[in-house]
């Protein structure tokens, strides 16, 4: 036999190495119908060894009096549990005997084949994915368990089988798969709760059903809270933008209102709230219902916006917004309850964007918060 040292770079001289060949397409190396990480030639060799069972020394009993021949060295190396089962067979026979019961014969055959070549046919996985997940857990074949989890995650999990897969994931210590199932159950609860799997779980595992119902109720409540929080943030953001637009209109002028009116009133400025505020200010100036008991809802809204500005503004003497200083004086006569409510509103409005573009707000944040 030639020594590998004879082929070291120091001892071999000759023409430069040829360029690297182009990559070979996966369909040339791997079976199209099979899923495997080994070459087709290697896969065929291991599959032939399993199919022909030449020299097989293990007899596997399955349901319905099925028999599968295997090689102890191969399946023992792939699964420590199976190796231990073979050691427990004390019979003096040229073939050891073990039993794998509780799953279909064909599922056991797919499982044993996987122990040989780490291969499986797509149709076999679709037919026996749940059984293979159980077998991979019981006989401690981590690679097969990962394959089953991946197949469920990417292809096989649906609203009809999600309850069954969820229960198997809990029994087979597959937390990621269990989490994916739980998310699908929460997302599609109305459809899942009418499936056969749900009805079967209701009868066989009522405690698990109650836990799922509790988690669904918790998720719905959390969703309502998130939606309410988002609406609050949206409202506070709109109020904040209205306060900035107030200062902009009264100090700089915008379109038809303010100290400096633009020559093109139809052109919008950078403040989205300007248009609505201009309409409210015009309405307030000419409304005849504001002095009547019960008043005008639009005028009340405008007064509230003016008061909110006065509570945010830190320099009422120089402020151009109407009634800013008068409303600030009025604060002193309000009840403690109203004062507390207004302070909370100011805090929430200012904390929405933290720092505003208007100089009237820069100091108000530190003072109020």
User: What would the DSSP string read from start to end of 61-77?
Assistant: EEGGGEEEEE-HHHHHH
The gap from C-alpha 7 to its chain's centroid, in whole angstroms, comes to 54
Q: Confidence class of residue 26 from pLDDT cuts 50, 70 and 90?
A: very low
Q: Confidence class of residue 267 from pLDDT cuts 50, 70 and 90?
A: low
pLDDT tens for 163-219 read 999 999 999 999 999 999 999 999 999 999 999 999 999 999 999 999 999 998 998
Q: Confidence class of residue 356 from pLDDT cuts 50, 70 and 90?
A: very low
Distance in angstroms (rounded) separating the CA atoms of residues 239 and 351: 12
Distance in angstroms (rounded) separating the CA atoms of residues 72 and 74: 5
pLDDT tens for 52-96 read 888 899 999 999 899 999 999 999 999 999 999 998 877 777 788
Share of the chain above pLDDT 90, in %: 39
Q: What is the DSSP letter of 97?
A: E
CA separation, residue 257 to residues 247, 276, 320 (Å):
12, 12, 13
Residue 355: the pLDDT is 44
Backbone angles phi, psi at 7, to 5 degrees: -105, 15
Task: Report the range of poorest mean pLDDT among 2-6, 39-43, 312-316.
Answer: 2-6
* Mean pLDDT calculated for residue range 20-33: 38
* Mean pLDDT calculated for residue range 32-54: 74
More confident residue, 51 or 291: 51
What b/e readout covers 124-162, taking b as 16+ CB neighbours within 10 angstroms?
bbeebbbbbbbbbbbbebeebbebbbebbeeeebebebb
Res. 222: pLDDT tops 70: yes
Instruction: Round the average pLDDT of the chain to a whole number and report it.
Output: 79
Residue 291: the pLDDT is 61
* Burial (0-12, 13-18, 19+ Cβ within 10 Å), 120: buried
Terminal C-alpha separation, the chain: 85
């Amino acid at each position: 036999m030639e020594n590998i040292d004879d082929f070291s770079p120091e001892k071999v001289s000759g023409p430069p190495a040829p360029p690297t060949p182009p990559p070979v397409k996966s369909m040339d190396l791997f079976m199209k119908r099979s899923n495997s990480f080994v070459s087709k030639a290697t896969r065929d060799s291991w599959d032939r060894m399993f199919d022909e069972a030449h020299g097989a020394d293990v007899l596997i009993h399955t349901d319905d009096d099925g028999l599968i021949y295997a090689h102890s060295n191969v399946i023992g190396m792939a699964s420590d549990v199976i190796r231990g089962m073979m050691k427990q067979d004390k019979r003096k026979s040229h073939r050891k005997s073990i039993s794998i019961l509780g799953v279909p014969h064909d599922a056991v055959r797919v499982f044993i084949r996987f122990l040989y070549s780490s291969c499986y046919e797509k149709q076999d996985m679709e037919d026996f994915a749940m059984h293979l997940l159980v077998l991979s857990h019981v006989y401690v074949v981590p690679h097969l368990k990962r394959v089953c989890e991946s197949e469920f995650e990417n292809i096989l999990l649906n609203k009809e089988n999600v309850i069954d897969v969820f229960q198997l994931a809990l029994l087979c210590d597959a937390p990621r798969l269990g989490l994916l199932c739980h998310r699908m159950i929460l997302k599609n609860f109305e459809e899942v709760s009418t499936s056969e799997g749900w009805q079967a779980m209701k009868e066989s595992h009522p405690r698990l059903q109650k836990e799922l119902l509790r988690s669904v109720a918790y998720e719905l409540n959390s969703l309502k809270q998130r939606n309410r929080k988002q609406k609050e943030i949206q409202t506070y953001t709109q109020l904040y933008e209205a306060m900035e637009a107030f200062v902009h209109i009264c100090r700089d002028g915008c379109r038809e209102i303010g100290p400096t009116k633009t020559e093109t009133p139809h052109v919008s400025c950078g403040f989205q709230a300007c248009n609505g505020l201009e309409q409210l200010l015009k309405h307030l100036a000419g409304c005849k219902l504001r002095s009547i008991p019960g008043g005008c809802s639009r005028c009340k809204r405008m007064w509230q916006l003016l008061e909110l500005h006065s509570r945010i503004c830190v320099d009422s003497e120089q402020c151009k917004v109407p009634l800013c200083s008068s409303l600030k004086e009025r604060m002193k006569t309000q009840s403690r309850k109203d004062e507390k409510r207004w302070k909370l509103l100011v805090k929430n409005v200012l904390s929405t964007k933290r720092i505003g573009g208007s100089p009237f707000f820069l100091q108000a944040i530190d003072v109020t918060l």
